[in-house]
């Protein structure tokens, strides 16, 4: 596996994902253990570990894609709002060492805690088809 990294393997298509958006720079797909319905991850295809070793140019390009995907999810899902989360380092809860931005859809008054819940694969597949851009 390239860089011994599961997100590189997803970017290379070696591991399947519930893809919702792709272009030359990034891939966006549903988190398999979502905090909420529609929880998506946006990753650069090129490997870097976190915010600090990713170039300013790449980060600027990624955040523009995060905005685009979040806007689509907000309309297509729909949801009332969303959180963007980006963890750096084990102490901050980063479990996959390939920089990624979480898009976490929120409903007004929801009791969401930021905890992974085991995703239902059939439901994720159907949702990815619905959210595909
Ligand atoms: P972190 O805690 O590193 O910010 O977030 C990593 C996220 O990646 C977690 O929410 C976890 O559920 C998700 N994740 C881990 N492995 C996979 C995978 O193989 N496929 C997908 N789609 N998500 C994954
Ligand atoms: Zn990687």
Q: Which atom of ligand 1 is nearest to the CA of 33?
A: 12
pTM of the model: 0.98
Domain boundaries, the chain: 2-131
pLDDT digits (tens, 9 = 90+) for 97-123: 999 999 999 999 999 989 999 999 999
**Collapsed DSSP state (helix, strand, coil) of residue 133:** coil
pLDDT digits (tens, 9 = 90+) for 38-65: 999 999 999 999 999 999 999 999 999 9
- C-alpha to C-alpha distance for 52 and 37, rounded to whole angstroms: 29
100 catalytic per annotation = yes
Choosing from 39, 47, 100, 102, which is the catalytic residue? 100
Q: Which atom of ligand 1 is nearest to the CA of 17?
A: 22
What is the CATH architecture assignment of 2-131? 2-Layer Sandwich (3.30)
- C-alpha to C-alpha distance for 127 and 45, rounded to whole angstroms: 23
29 lines ligand 1 (CB under 6 A): yes
């Amino acid at each position: 596996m390239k860089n011994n990294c599961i997100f590189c393997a997803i970017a290379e298509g070696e591991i399947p994902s519930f893809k919702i958006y792709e272009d030359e720079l990034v891939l966006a797909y549903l988190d398999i253990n979502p905090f909420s319905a529609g929880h998506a991850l946006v990753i650069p295809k090129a490997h870097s570990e976190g915010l600090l070793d990713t170039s300013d140019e790449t980060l600027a390009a990624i955040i523009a894609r995060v905005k685009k995907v979040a806007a689509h999810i907000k309309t297509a899902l729909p949801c009332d709002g969303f959180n963007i989360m980006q963890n750096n380092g084990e102490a901050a809860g980063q479990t996959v060492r390939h920089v990624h931005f979480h898009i976490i859809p929120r409903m007004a008054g929801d009791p969401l805690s930021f905890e992974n819940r085991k995703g239902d694969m059939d439901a994720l597949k159907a949702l990815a088809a619905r959210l595909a851009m």
